Structure 1
Amino acid sequence: MTGRKATVGGLVTANPVWVGSSELTMTLDGLITCIDAGAGAVVAKSVNESAAARRQLDIADYAFVSAGGRVRPAGAARRGDGLLNRSGLAQVDLDDWLALLAAGVEHGAARGCPVIGSITLGDPVAAARIAHAMAGAVPAVELNIGAPHGREASAVRQLTEADAVHDAVRVVRVAVDAPLFVKLPGQASDVVALARAARSAGADAVGLVGRYPGFLPDLDGGAVLGSWGAWGSPACLPMSLYWVAKARTALDVPLVGTNGARTATDVLRFLASGARAVEVVTALWIGGPAALAELVAGVDAYLDARDLDEFVGSALAGAREYKDIPPVRPPAWLPYTARWSRSSGR
């Protein structure tokens, strides 16, 4: 898919299938592996100013959960599993991290695959300082203000109010000349309002949406992972697409989709809903680099005879407001209520 470039917020990428920030992109070997597997862009593991956020990586843990509720270790995970996890930020000094990013950028440049730096918000002023330094090493910076772990640990923050989003993005924006992408949470009263606030504060693109807070009892008096965590799964896909589609309809801002894409069809649904690129992570946890290559090939094959720019947001032409939908005749609920009545003997 190297010939089908995707441009997002001024950043030209090899294709619209990106690798999101995670432990998989925390080392130079990890970045290179993603680049060589065909990623359109790679978002490096997040950093911030907090030593506590780095220490949080020491308690990182991962549980893969089947659609039927079976909990599996990483080595036994399957494509349709959800992921419940704890995580922290990269345990590295900023100067060393910038050198690693620069090496990744150099490797990706020959393949048209940008490496994007990532900051998970702690203190906005500190984030601005890191972003300014990072922009000297990478072609774009992602500011993650949607980290679900922000609800459990003060070392990172999750912002769910428009004013707070605007203020934080504005502080970072003035410090960065490179494209600035802002990743937002999915658990907020109005995600479109958050996207509007990020855009008005200077975001070049908006990522929708971060994973959700999660909790899963093990029914033996404890909890999976022994704590709360962050949750993502294929079942999150329609919720993520909802906010992508709503933001596409309401705003003039490039969108990056995330949370729920495991197959090429999932990626295409993000694009049809209005995203210009899609970040994937859990599919790679489960399937390795081959899964990334499969996604890229599948998306490329579908779009072979289509124009990417025209395909982005194409599903919205067939989506109407409730008030504009004529009555369904016969009523769609009729067979369900009839079956219920028969089964109850009435």
Structure 2
Amino acid sequence: MDRVELGGLVTANPVWVGSSELTMTLAGITACVDAGAGAVVAKSVNESAAARRQLDIADYAFVAADGSVRPPGAGMPGDGLLNRSGLAQVDLDDWLGVLADANAYGSARGCPVLGSITLGDPEAAARIGRAMASVVPAVELNIGAPHGREARAVRQLTEVDGVTDAVRVVRSAVDVPLFVKLPGQASDVVALARAARAAGADAVGLVGRYPGFLPDLDGGAVLGSWGAWSSPGCLPMSLYWVSKAFRQLDVPLIGTNGARTAKDVLRFLASGARAVEVVTALWIGGPAALRVMVDGVSGIGEDFVGSALAGTREYGDVPPPPSPAWLPYTARWTSSGR
């Protein structure tokens, strides 16, 4: 896909860079633009000084498949990422200047730069969104931040009424496309997406990272606390909600959490996403990883979006296979002692 229209925003390709410390400065954002991103979501802000102070205790650990932990800067493909983070440490007026400069740079190269708000107080988010809308072409409202379970300065909304109220308040103040990022840890993420759409979201992002915890087995825990978790293993979990939302709702979808390769991006698209935000792949592979993903989805047609759903059945409609899939496993166990 070499051109994407999503919720009123047009981008050159579906591979977007998500909000993170990599997009917290003008230099970081422009590096993503130069690497070929379809769009860049700037680091989130909100009204809380406490959320900004939390960045002082940010930490990152890459976890290999065998459970060994690598320090920041040493991540390898296939690693999971457990981290603790905060929001950009900048006054809003200064941040608006950065966003304006970043968007001028990106727009000239076909790459829009979005503002991002991690929800604290909905009324404050509306005020920030109104200000951002004067300098960016779209705003992302993150109500799925995993740190919302640990940090009082941000919120993770997992109930329909809360999503409806927050999105409606921010929507009333923002006159550019509003994209709402939802959590994956909720009883019914499709219901949250439906509520966000009904309250005015132009597109929905599915899904935020999961809360995580990992003992170090030396009497403590990796990072010394709880954190947020993402890994290639999260990909099927994210695609579950993307595919369900695509089948049940009429809302443009943005995939997040689990895409590390071009094949992963394609799987998001085949599940119904029209764009995919990536972050951890860039922590590990740098800007070159982004270019590989962009090249890997070039030429994909519009009809590819949601194509995996055409052959997907509900459980009750799946015909039995010729031989039970569990049979080889039971045979291995029952014959092992003979």
How would you bin the TM-score normalised by the shorter chain?
A: over 0.9
Aligned partner of 1:252: which letter?
D
% identical equivalent positions: 80
Separation in structure 1 between the aligned mates of residue 285 and residue 201 of structure 2, nearest angstrom: 33
Q: Deviations over 1:51-83 (max 9, x none)?
A: 000000000000000111110012221011110
Q: Deviations over 1:236-281 (max 9, x none)?
A: 0000000000000000000000000000000000000000000000
The question of whether the paired residues in 1 share the 8 Å contact of 2:63 and 2:82 is answered with yes
* Counterpart position of 1:168: 166
Separation in structure 2 between the aligned mates of residue 70 and residue 248 of structure 1, nearest angstrom: 37
Matched, 1:23 2:26: no
Shift of 1:344: 3.8
Aligned length: 338
* Counterpart position of 2:331: 338
Q: Deviations over 1:318-339 (max 9, x none)?
A: 1100011112221111111111
The question of whether the paired residues in 2 share the 8 Å contact of 1:245 and 1:273 is answered with yes
Shift of 1:228: 0.1
* Counterpart position of 2:55: 57
Task: State TM-score, norm by structure 2.
Answer: 0.99
Separation in structure 1 between the aligned mates of residue 251 and residue 174 of structure 2, nearest angstrom: 18
Secondary structure of 1:235's partner? helix
* Counterpart position of 2:67: 69
Separation in structure 2 between the aligned mates of residue 75 and residue 187 of structure 1, nearest angstrom: 28
Secondary structure of 1:217's partner? coil
* Counterpart position of 2:200: 202
Secondary structure of 1:125's partner? helix
Aligned counterpart in structure 1 of residue 33 of structure 2, from 32, 35, 39: 35
Aligned partner of 1:269: which letter?
R
Displaced runs of 4 or more, over 2 A: none
Q: Deviations over 1:150-176 (max 9, x none)?
A: 000110000000111011000000101
* Counterpart position of 1:108: 106
The question of whether the paired residues in 2 share the 8 Å contact of 1:14 and 1:111 is answered with no
Aligned partner of 2:180: which letter?
V
Matched, 1:268 2:247: no
Separation in structure 2 between the aligned mates of residue 272 and residue 111 of structure 1, nearest angstrom: 27
The question of whether the paired residues in 2 share the 8 Å contact of 1:275 and 1:312 is answered with yes
Separation in structure 1 between the aligned mates of residue 43 and residue 140 of structure 2, nearest angstrom: 10
Separation in structure 2 between the aligned mates of residue 318 and residue 287 of structure 1, nearest angstrom: 34
Separation in structure 1 between the aligned mates of residue 117 and residue 254 of structure 2, nearest angstrom: 16
Separation in structure 2 between the aligned mates of residue 142 and residue 343 of structure 1, nearest angstrom: 55
Secondary structure of 1:42's partner? strand
Secondary structure of 2:73's partner? helix
* Counterpart position of 2:219: 221
Matched, 1:252 2:250: yes
Shift of 1:123: 0.2
The question of whether the paired residues in 2 share the 8 Å contact of 1:74 and 1:286 is answered with no
The question of whether the paired residues in 1 share the 8 Å contact of 2:184 and 2:238 is answered with yes
Separation in structure 2 between the aligned mates of residue 267 and residue 169 of structure 1, nearest angstrom: 27
The question of whether the paired residues in 1 share the 8 Å contact of 2:73 and 2:283 is answered with no
Aligned counterpart in structure 2 of residue 96 of structure 1, from 78, 94, 97: 94
Q: Deviations over 1:156-200 (max 9, x none)?
A: 000000111011000000101100000000000000000000000
**Residues 274-285 of structure 1 aligned to structure 2 (within 5 Å):** 274-285=272-283
Q: Deviations over 1:198-239 (max 9, x none)?
A: 000000000000000000000000000000000000000000
Secondary structure of 1:74's partner? coil
Q: Deviations over 1:290-346 (max 9, x none)?
A: 11111111111xxx2x42x2110000001100011112221111111111111244x
The question of whether the paired residues in 2 share the 8 Å contact of 1:81 and 1:234 is answered with yes
Shift of 1:110: 1.3
For structure 2, the 5+ residue unaligned runs are: none
Secondary structure of 2:114's partner? strand
Please, what is the CA RMSD of the aligned residues? 0.8
* Counterpart position of 1:312: 305
Task: State TM-score, norm by structure 1.
Answer: 0.97
Secondary structure of 2:333's partner? helix
Separation in structure 2 between the aligned mates of residue 62 and residue 323 of structure 1, nearest angstrom: 43
